[in-house]
Amino acid sequence: MQTESGKMETNSAVSRRRFIAGAGVLLAGTTLKLARGIPVDDIAPQAASRDRIIDIHQHTDYSGRPNTELIRHQRTLGVSLTVLLPAGSPVNSPSTHQGISNGLQAGCSGNEVCYRIAQEHPGEFVFGANEVPDLPGAAREIEKYLKLGAKVIGELKFGLDCDAPGMQRIYELAGKYEVPVLMHWQHGMYSYHLERFHTMLAKYPEVKFIGHAQTWWANIDREHRDQRVMYPKTQVTPGGLTDRLLADYPNLYGDLSAGSGLNALLRDQAHARSFLDRHQNKLLYGSDCSDAAGKGAACSGAQAIDSIRRLAPDRKVSRKILYQNAKKLFKL
């Protein structure tokens, strides 16, 4: 190798130079991560991970889990970027079932905590915005965080009709700021009247809606009759309400998170293969689990990743569901 002075360097000199330069880059990168509050032992180079994954559904202070454990959980899970979904304000009202639903009925914290963690860990977390929809000033609170860069509204987990005035004000905000709305569907408890939701999809075609939770996933089955059954185990007959809505409305997506999403995949795996193929551009990975493990049988999020990879018809489809669809929808 020839230097700027025109003299030749030996191979050993070149090797020493390259080693020193590489060590300097590694030290600089480690210093930057320490400055961001990431422990060195937790640093896992993304190049070493199997695939990049976006998790669209996690919560802070979830069922009492410390947020330091949340961060470790997501890294163990192999997630590249996590969307933090806040709870609304703690209030006693009919829409929160007189406080039962506060903290998303799981002790989850609100907008400010999600925003702070995303600021402390840029590139690893982003945040959503939420508020009790029929609370005075709800739109103002949500808009505050949309202006700060919130990527989604939700999760909307409140005892209100899906077409209630307060809910529609939130849909209008989502359209204005071009962010999706994530809704928790649970018969008799949250987001009432899934059978009427098509009217909102038609009324707000510019708004991207994401369906989630027990009633949403139970209704992939055309034979699902008893809405009180939250985790059906029977084989699936295609053409259920959820299946039809996903097929008929371009502005509707499905969040495969939590036990409900995992159950939808595992209850009838032959159906799951065709369902993932049929709706490959509409489905999104989320974990929505409150464990500290981040792996194995204790973690539904880890099981969902494994199930998507195993049941998707090919790697192209699994990459859409685990990463590409979310990247496009959330503009990440």
Using one digit for the tens of pLDDT, what is the confidence trace for 133-165?
999 999 999 999 999 999 999 999 999 999 999
Residues 270 and 168 both lie in one domain:
yes
Measured between alpha carbons, how far is residue 205 from residues 79, 150, 151, 171, 183 in Å?
31, 21, 19, 10, 16
pLDDT band at 212 (very low <50, low <70, confident <90, very high): very high
Structure tokens at 103: 């903290």
The sign of the dihedral angle between the CA atoms of 128, 123, 55, 303 is negative
Q: Is residue 8 over pLDDT 60?
A: no
Residues 249 and 291 both lie in one domain:
yes
Residues 68 and 182 both lie in one domain:
yes
Asked if residue 242 lies in contact with residue 216, where contact means CB atoms within 8 angstroms, the answer is yes
Residues 258 and 309 both lie in one domain:
yes
Residues 225 and 194 both lie in one domain:
yes
Asked if residue 290 lies in contact with residue 62, where contact means CB atoms within 8 angstroms, the answer is yes
Q: Does 40 reside within a domain? A: no
**At residue 61, what is the residue type?**
D
Smallest CA-to-CA distance from 278 within 227, 220, 222 is with 220
Number of domains within the chain: 2
**Which pLDDT does position 20 carry in this prediction?**
38
For the entire predicted model, the pTM comes to 0.85
**Which pLDDT does position 37 carry in this prediction?**
41
Q: Does 225 reside within a domain? A: yes
Asked if residue 227 lies in contact with residue 192, where contact means CB atoms within 8 angstroms, the answer is no
Residue 296 DSSP label: G
The percentage of the chain sitting over the pLDDT mark of 90, rounded to a whole number, equals 85
Q: Does 81 reside within a domain? A: yes
For 44-64, write each residue's pLDDT tens digit. 433 334 589 999 999 999 999
Residue range(s) defining the domain that contains residue 57: 48-329
Domain containing 96 — which CATH number? Answer: 3.20.20.140
